[in-house]
């Protein structure tokens, strides 16, 4: 449902800039997976009290530092604990691990796969 949701649909419809696409296809797929998983784990895994500036830790698509998985994190509301709480109903003080993190990784992975197949 996230691709159809009023706020998030723009990130599902956005055309990924060529330089971001190049950064996604040049490393091995395994490297991209590791980077994606690290990004999700580091940005939303800890409870909000352990995060510096929650809500600002994932580069926005307009940032030169943005990678394709950052676009995916914003599109799937896995970019910060505030979005996770609002869109997924997971309290900000609950640390994420195991199945929860794997589910969030799968959401971002789906976005990346869809964007790279376009």
SS (H, E, C) the chain: CHHHCCCCHHHHHCCCCHHHHHHHHCCCHHHHHHHHHHHHHHHHCCCHHHCCCCCCCCCCCCCCCCCHHHHHHHHCCCCCHHHHHHHHCCCCCCCCCHHHHHHHHHHHHHHHHHHHCC
Domain with 105 in it? 2-116
From first to last of the 118 residues of the chain, give the pLDDT tens digit.
566 565 667 888 888 999 898 888 887 778 889 999 999 998 888 887 787 778 888 998 889 989 999 999 999 999 998 899 988 999 888 888 889 999 999 999 999 999 998 8
Domain count, the chain: 1
Return the pLDDT at 45. Answer: 86
Return the pLDDT at 29. Answer: 72
């Amino acid at each position: 449902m996230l691709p159809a949701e009023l706020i998030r649909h723009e990130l599902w419809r956005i055309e990924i800039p060529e330089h971001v696409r190049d950064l996604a296809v040049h490393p091995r797929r395994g490297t991209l997976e590791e980077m994606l998983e690290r990004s999700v784990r580091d940005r939303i895994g800890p409870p909000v009290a352990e995060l510096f500036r929650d809500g600002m830790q994932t580069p926005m698509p307009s940032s030169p530092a943005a990678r394709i998985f950052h676009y995916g994190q914003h599109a799937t509301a896995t970019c910060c604990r505030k979005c996770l709480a609002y869109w997924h109903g997971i309290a900000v003080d609950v640390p994420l691990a195991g199945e929860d993190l794997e589910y969030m990784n799968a959401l971002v992975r789906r976005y990346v796969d869809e964007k790279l197949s376009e």
